[in-house]
Amino acid sequence: MLKDYIDVFLPDFKYYSPDTAKEFSHAPDYPQVVKEAIDKMFELVGKPQFKDNIMQKGVIIRHLILPWYYKESMEIVKYIWEKYHDDVYLSLMNQYTPMYKALTHPKLKQRKLTTFEYDKVVDYALDLGFKNCYIQQGKTATTKFVPHFDGTNVY
């Protein structure tokens, strides 16, 4: 149904473990469902295609690394590499900021992601061979990067 309407997909791959998916999102089947969804997205648009440095077709998989869970993030990175290599783009995000319901979770409320945790995942991705990988630099885990969900500036 989406084949002729979407050229670039931007899915999130949040959790590798069904237990983590259940704990944070009450969705133990999330890892299997996201893998199937990304497979379908890739089937529809294929390898990245660019014109004038602008992606025309492709898949960019976003992954927000959570504090305490960098080893699970490495499992996600490994899975993506083994399945797609550089036929997709990977975006490794470090801006986790504890707020809203995360503030009620014993682990997620404690702190932001550490530089050590983020660097471990980035280094792992690079060691695997990723070239098509977006990496964040600097301190992005601030409320400055959180939109105001008040309906303003919505287009």
Give the pLDDT band (50/70/90) at residue 67.
Answer: very high
- Percent of the chain with pLDDT strictly greater than 70: 88
Contact 45, 58 (CB under 8 A): yes
Q: Using N-to-C axis directions, what is the helix angle for 18-25 and 30-45, rounded to 10°?
A: 100
Closest CA to 65 of 56, 55, 76: 76
- Can you tell me the distance from the alpha carbon of 44 to that of 41, in angstroms, rounded to the nearest whole number? 5
Q: What is the pLDDT of residues 128-139, one digit of tens each?
A: 999 999 998 766
Contact 97, 142 (CB under 8 A): yes
Region 56-68 average pLDDT:
96
